Structure 1
Amino acid sequence: MSDSAALDSFLEKWRARWPEWSVAEIFVPAERRERAVAWFALLQEFDDALNIAGDPLPADAKLAWWGEELRGWAARRSRHPLGRRLEPIRAPWEQLAEALPALAPARMPTRDGDAAFASLSAFAEAVVAVEADVLGRAAEPGAVIAHTLAIRLMDVGATAVPYDLGASVHGDPARLRAWADHLRDRGGDLRQGARERRILSSFAFGRLLRHARAGQPAPLPSPPRLLFTAWRAVRGG
Structure 2
Amino acid sequence: MTTSTALDSFLDKWRTRWPEWQVAEPFVPEAQRTLVVAWFSLLQEFDDILNTSGDPMPADAKLAWWGEELRSWAAQRSRHPLGRMLEPVRAPWAELAQALPDLIEARAVPVDPAQAQRALQAYGAAVAAVEAVMFETPARGDVATPVVLQTLAQRLHEAGVAAVPRSLLADDDGNATHRWGQQLLRNWPARVAGPRPRRLYASLARTRQQAWSQGQELKATPVRTLLRTWWAARG
Q: Determine the structure 1 residue equivalent to 2:31.
A: 31
Q: TM-score, normalised by structure 1?
A: 0.93
Instruction: Give the distance between the partners of 1:229 and 1:124, measured in 2 at CA.
Output: 24
Residue deviations 1:90-133, cap 9 Å, x none?
01100011111111110011111100001111111111111111
Instruction: Give the distance between the partners of 2:146 and 2:189, measured in 1 at CA.
Output: 5
Give the gaps of 5 or more residues in structure 2.
none
| AA in 2 matched with 1:196 | P
* Alignment check: 8 A CA contact 1:106 1:116 kept: yes
Q: TM-score, normalised by structure 2?
A: 0.94
Output the aligned Cα RMSD. 1.5
The equivalences for 1:1-237 within 5 A come to 1-137=1-137, 138=139, 140-168=143-171, 170-171=173-174, 174-187=175-188, 190-214=191-215, 218-236=217-235
SS at match of 1:82: helix
* Alignment check: 8 A CA contact 1:142 1:186 kept: no
* Alignment check: 8 A CA contact 1:180 1:208 kept: yes
Shift of residue 188, structure 1, vs aligned partner: 5.2
Give the gaps of 5 or more residues in structure 1.
none
Distance 1:77 1:228, change over 3 A: same
| AA in 1 matched with 2:149 | A
How many residues are paired up?
A: 232
Instruction: Give the distance between the partners of 1:46 and 1:123, measured in 2 at CA.
Output: 10
| AA in 1 matched with 2:203 | S
* Alignment check: 8 A CA contact 2:20 2:220 kept: no
Structure 1 ranges of 4+ moved more than 4 A: none
Distance 1:157 1:60, change over 3 A: same
Distance 1:199 1:181, change over 3 A: same
